[in-house]
């Protein structure tokens, strides 16, 4: 989609991905503009009243007891944004910054924050013109929202700080705004606070991670099917009647995928005879649906939490238009998101762990049922995929470390006013690394399994797994043979997994996987 209309309702997962990852523009729908105007009228009335109102005519956090005179309130908002734009470290990915800007704008559009329509419009314009403020890795505690990351975005609306233009060049914000025909804005009462007090960064990363994991878990089913097939395992354990007696929905979907992926396999048929004396396969083969299925169910739980957050208006204080007042609250606390971000890091580590175990079985002559040691062309002269498994093992070890939860930690801040924080931003940042690591582990399993399936010739793999092997070969990844530089082949396969090409190859043959 080229552009999305942002109304007062929640944005969808697809809209987040379209804006964050695909560069779609944003425009405010009429209902959003009307809601913004109504809330702004409440703020302006309270700003004119002699009674102090938090966030409008007072300081912030531990300084909330000071009443700010009218002539200093614009400076109050500028000072807030400048002082809170205190991030440090590497620049985060453009898709993350665009995602957090969209979700902050979505909250502004609900009519609960009290910004002016021109302020919301300028944020939409930045997204449409692909002007992306530079946000840094460190600075958010995931409570009072993602303050530092959002402050760097608000700073750009003031024409300050550094941004990336649509071509990816680093330029001063004022220069990028001028080039796009946009003018910086001077914040009025409540606006600076409304722009920085949300869970938008961690939520954007959660939505993107769920999107990636949904695709990766179906790809992990493909890798598992290739491994079961290549190691002369049985598909009987994946029968629907066996899944029905333990009715976890994710397990049933994963098992059904494995059955479909291995259908009509000449390799499976070759040992489905009375001569086969194997009673049952190893856990890493036989229990793939149980592990992948539990991961799927966890991802869908996280998606439920994300959908609730997408339907929320996160700010403090919030404007309650019907009651004609603003009220302080604790909705900015990131605990609901932080917990599932950590849960998904556990999922990534576990799915990667079972993938690595399936890969390792291919390489051990005592367990691979007749294949060459390490799938080497000439064992001893060649090492085959020996060190590819080392790479997997290193990744899995890192994923286990990343599975240590961030959300159990808390460091008090703001002179003990903010004495319990979620660390949700940190949970989100490590989950992004976990998703990348899982992608690489699954890709190495696909790469190794494809080699093994070809080494079973003249036996033919299933139509679906054959299509995956062909997709690798079409990408220039060669089949079995003498040792060659392996790293480029691994990276090529990683990209095929990350892009969804491996999944698409199988689905073109057997239809959409569950």
Are residues 276 and 193 part of one domain? no
Residue 62: pLDDT band (50, 70, 90) is low
Residue 75: Cβ-neighbour burial (10 angstroms; 0-12, 13-18, 19+): exposed
Are residues 218 and 169 part of one domain? no
In this predicted model, what pLDDT tens digit does every residue of 94-143 receive, in sequence order? 999 999 999 999 999 999 999 999 999 999 999 999 999 999 999 999 88
User: Do 405 and 430 form a contact (C-beta atoms < 8 A)?
Assistant: no
Tokens of 214: 């949904």
Evaluate if residue 65 carries a pLDDT over 90.
Answer: no
For 68: left if phi > 0, alpha if psi spans -120 to 50, otherwise beta; the answer is: beta
Average pLDDT value for residue range 6-26: 97
Residue 172 lies in a domain: yes
**Marked catalytic residue, from 54, 138, 283, 390:** 54
Instruction: Tell which of 198, 220, 250 closes a domain.
Output: 198
Are residues 215 and 152 part of one domain? no
Phi first, then psi: what are they for 93, rounded to 5°?
-65, 145
User: Do 299 and 210 form a contact (C-beta atoms < 8 A)?
Assistant: yes
> Rounded to an integer, what distance in angstroms lies between the CA atom of residue 371 and that of residue 245?
35
Residue 54 catalytic?
yes
Residue 488: Cβ-neighbour burial (10 angstroms; 0-12, 13-18, 19+): exposed
Residue 46 lies in a domain: yes
Q: Token pair 């609250």 is at which residue?
A: 329
Are residues 165 and 45 part of one domain? yes
In sequence order, the 6+-apart residues with CB closer than 8 A to the CB of 457 are none
Are residues 168 and 82 part of one domain? yes
Residue 125 lies in a domain: yes
Residue 319 lies in a domain: no
User: Do 69 and 52 form a contact (C-beta atoms < 8 A)?
Assistant: no
Buried-exposed string 425-455: b where 16+ CB fall within 10 A, e elsewhere = bbbbbbbbebbebbbbbbbbbbbbbbbbbbb
Is the entire prediction scored with pTM above 0.85?
yes
Residue 343 lies in a domain: no
Phi first, then psi: what are they for 88, rounded to 5°?
-145, 160
Are residues 94 and 28 part of one domain? yes
- In this structure, what CATH number is given to the domain that contains residue 147? 1.10.275.10
Residue 338 lies in a domain: no
Residue 63 lies in a domain: yes
Instruction: Tell which of 149, 175, 198 closes a domain.
Output: 198
> Rounded to an integer, what distance in angstroms lies between the CA atom of residue 145 and that of residue 79?
18
Are residues 243 and 143 part of one domain? no
In this predicted model, what pLDDT tens digit does every residue of 187-221 receive, in sequence order? 999 999 999 999 999 999 999 999 999 999 999 99
> Rounded to an integer, what distance in angstroms lies between the CA atom of residue 323 and that of residue 331?
19
Please tell me the total count of domains within the chain: 2
pLDDT at 231: 96
Are residues 108 and 125 part of one domain? yes
> Nearest to residue 106, comparing CAs of 306, 322, 342?
306
Handedness of CA 75, 76, 77, 83 (dihedral sign): positive
- In this structure, what CATH number is given to the domain that contains residue 271? 1.20.200.10
Residue 239: pLDDT band (50, 70, 90) is very high
User: Do 332 and 316 form a contact (C-beta atoms < 8 A)?
Assistant: yes
Give the DSSP H/E element, type plus range, for residue 266. Answer: helix 266-270
pLDDT at 185: 96
3-class DSSP state of 379? strand
User: How far from 416 is each of 189, 199, 391, 410, 412, CA to CA, in Å?
Assistant: 26, 20, 44, 12, 6
Are residues 143 and 281 part of one domain? no
Residue 263: pLDDT band (50, 70, 90) is very high
Phi first, then psi: what are they for 310, rounded to 5°?
-65, -25
Are residues 189 and 163 part of one domain? yes
Instruction: Tell which of 198, 233, 264 closes a domain.
Output: 198
Are residues 211 and 154 part of one domain? no
Tokens of 310: 């997408």
Residue 330 lies in a domain: no
Q: What is the mean pLDDT of the chain?
A: 94
Are residues 233 and 250 part of one domain? yes
> Nearest to residue 445, comparing CAs of 211, 216, 251?
216
Q: Which domain holds residue 94?
A: 3-198
């Amino acid at each position: 989609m080229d552009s999305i209309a942002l109304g007062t309702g929640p944005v969808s997962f697809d809209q987040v991905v379209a804006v964050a990852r695909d560069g779609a523009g944003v425009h405010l729908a009429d209902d959003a503009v009307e809601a913004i105007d109504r809330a702004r009228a409440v703020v302006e009335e309270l700003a004119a009243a002699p009674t102090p109102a938090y966030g409008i005519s007072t300081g912030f956090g531990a300084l909330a007891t000071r009443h700010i005179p009218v002539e200093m309130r614009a400076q109050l908002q500028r000072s807030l944004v400048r002082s809170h734009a205190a991030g440090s470290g590497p620049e985060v990915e453009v898709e993350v910054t665009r995602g957090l800007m969209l979700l902050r704008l979505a909250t502004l559009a609900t009519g609960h924050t009290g910004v002016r329509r021109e302020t919301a419009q300028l944020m939409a314009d930045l997204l449409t013109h692909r002007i992306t403020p530079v946000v840094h890795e460190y600075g958010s505690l995931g409570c009072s929202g993602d303050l530092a990351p959002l402050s760097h975005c608000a700073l750009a609306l003031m024409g300050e700080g550094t941004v990336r233009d649509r071509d990816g060049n680093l330029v001063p914000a004022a220069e990028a705004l001028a080039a796009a025909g946009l003018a910086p804005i001077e914040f009025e009462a409540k606006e600076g606070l409304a722009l920085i007090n949300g869970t938008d960064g961690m939520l954007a990363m959660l939505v993107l991670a769920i999107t990636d994991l949904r695709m990766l878990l179906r790809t992990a089913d493909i890798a598992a099917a290739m491994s079961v097939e290549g190691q002369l395992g049985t598909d009987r354990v994946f029968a629907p009647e066996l899944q029905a007696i333990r009715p976890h929905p994710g397990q049933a979907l994963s098992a059904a995928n494995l059955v479909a992926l291995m259908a009509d396999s000449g390799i499976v048929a070759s040992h489905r005879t009375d001569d086969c004396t194997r009673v049952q396969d190893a856990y890493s083969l036989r229990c793939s649906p149980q592990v992948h299925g539990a991961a799927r169910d966890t991802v869908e739980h996280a998606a439920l939490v994300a959908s609730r957050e997408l339907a929320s208006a996160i700010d403090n204080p919030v404007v309650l238009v019907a009651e004609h007042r603003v009220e302080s609250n604790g909705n900015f606390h990131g605990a609901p998101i932080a917990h599932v971000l950590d849960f998904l890091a556990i999922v990534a580590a576990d799915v990667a762990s079972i993938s690595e175990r399936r890969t390792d079985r291919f390489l051990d002559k005592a367990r691979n049922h007749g294949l060459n040691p390490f799938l080497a062309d000439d064992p001893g002269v060649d090492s085959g995929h020996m060190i590819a498994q080392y790479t997997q093992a290193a990744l899995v070890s890192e994923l286990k470390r990343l599975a240590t939860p961030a959300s159990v930690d808390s460091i008090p801040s703001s002179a003990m006013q903010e004495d319990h924080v979620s660390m949700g931003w940190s949970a989100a940042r490590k989950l992004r690394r976990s998703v990348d690591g899982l992608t690489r582990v699954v890709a190495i399993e696909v790469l190794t399994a494809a080699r093994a399936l070809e080494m079973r010739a003249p036996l033919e793999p299933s139509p679906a797994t054959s299509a995956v092997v062909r997709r690798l070969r079409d990408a220039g990844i060669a089949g079995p043979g003498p040792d060659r530089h392996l790293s480029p082949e691994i990276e090529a396969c990683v990209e095929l997994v990350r892009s969804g090409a491996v999944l698409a190859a199988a689905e073109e043959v057997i239809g959409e996987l569950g």
